[in-house]
């Protein structure tokens, strides 16, 4: 069976743990993003105190729209009504609206979180999750909360030339090359990468520290003493692993 969101294979259920967690996290953060957007409506200031060119028309239209919650509430109320009908709950027309937009957003988000276990079993889950992700990304951009660019390493399959995005902090997570369609755990993927004589795998020092459970000082010492190749601030993880094995 495949996850209804990412299409990866899952042992049971309609959605994988990673997609479930991402959806739940995005929903949880929407009220704070909606409230935070209000702080970016007025003109920004540069370091010198003069108005920045970012909001040259006097206010940030995207931030204003997001803070008003019209798009957020439109989507969340649409699916809340669907859930209420399907589960024979109080219809929206009989509900008393909250006094403020902020409270209304928080109320409908709480409703969706309470019914999330049911929602992930529905055939419209992919559309719902995609819409929530889009609104969450928009809120993150407005609030200037940009997520870290994903780390990528080459696929270790010899005939494949694709790259795979990895989350170094989740070693047991499943990863998959969308080109050759091979799957591994991240732990297994990195093990294969370090033992592939035909490829060089580059990672940043923070990722290598997490992977090898070493400090930056220890990694830098290995790099200096063993002339580990460095490229654009990234390090040859295989060379570091070999150097460390000599030390151990």
25-29, 119-123, 224-228: least confidently modelled range: 224-228
Distance CA 15, CA 47 (A): 46
CA distance readout (Å), 239 to 47, 80, 217: 43, 53, 17
Q: Specify the pLDDT at position 115.
A: 97
Distance of CA 10 to the CA centre of its chain: 19
Under DSSP, the state recorded for 94 is G
pTM: 0.56
Tokens representing 130? 């995609």
pLDDT digits (tens, 9 = 90+) for 70-122: 999 999 999 999 999 999 999 998 999 999 999 999 999 999 999 999 999 99
Average predicted confidence (pLDDT) for the chain: 82
Q: Specify the pLDDT at position 107.
A: 95
pLDDT digits (tens, 9 = 90+) for 42-79: 755 333 333 444 443 456 788 889 999 999 999 999 99
Q: Specify the pLDDT at position 248.
A: 59
Helix axes 101-114, 70-86, angle to 10 degrees: 40
pLDDT class of 235 with cuts at 50, 70, 90: confident
Q: Specify the pLDDT at position 170.
A: 64
Task: Tell which residue, 71, 50, 52, 70, has the closest CA to residue 60.
Answer: 52
């Amino acid at each position: 069976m495949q996850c209804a969101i990412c299409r990866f294979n899952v042992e049971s259920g309609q959605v994988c743990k990673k997609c479930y967690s991402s959806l739940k996290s995005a929903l949880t953060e929407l009220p704070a993003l909606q409230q935070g957007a209000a702080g970016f409506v007025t003109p920004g200031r540069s370091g010198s105190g003069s108005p920045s060119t970012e909001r040259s028309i006097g206010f940030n239209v995207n931030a204003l729209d997001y803070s008003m919650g019209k798009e957020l509430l439109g989507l969340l109320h649409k699916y809340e009504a669907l859930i209420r009908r399907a589960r024979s709950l109080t219809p929206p027309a009989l509900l008393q609206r909250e006094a403020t937009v902020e409270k209304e957003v928080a109320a409908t988000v709480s409703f969706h979180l309470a019914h999330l276990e049911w929602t992930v079993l529905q055939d419209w889950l992919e559309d719902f999750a995609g819409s929530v992700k889009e609104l969450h990304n928009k809120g993150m951009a407005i609030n200037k909360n940009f997520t870290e660019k994903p780390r990528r390493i080459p696929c270790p399959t010899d005939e494949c030339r694709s790259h795979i995005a990895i989350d170094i902090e989740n070693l047991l997570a499943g990863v998959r090359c969308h080109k050759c369609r091979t799957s591994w755990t991240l732990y297994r993927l990195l093990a294969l990468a370090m033992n592939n004589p035909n490829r060089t795998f580059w990672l940043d020092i923070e990722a290598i520290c997490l992977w090898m459970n070493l400090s930056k000082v220890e990694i830098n010492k290995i790099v200096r003493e063993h002339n580990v190749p460095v490229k654009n601030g990234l390090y040859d993880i295989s060379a570091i692993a070999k150097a460390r094995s000599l030390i151990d």
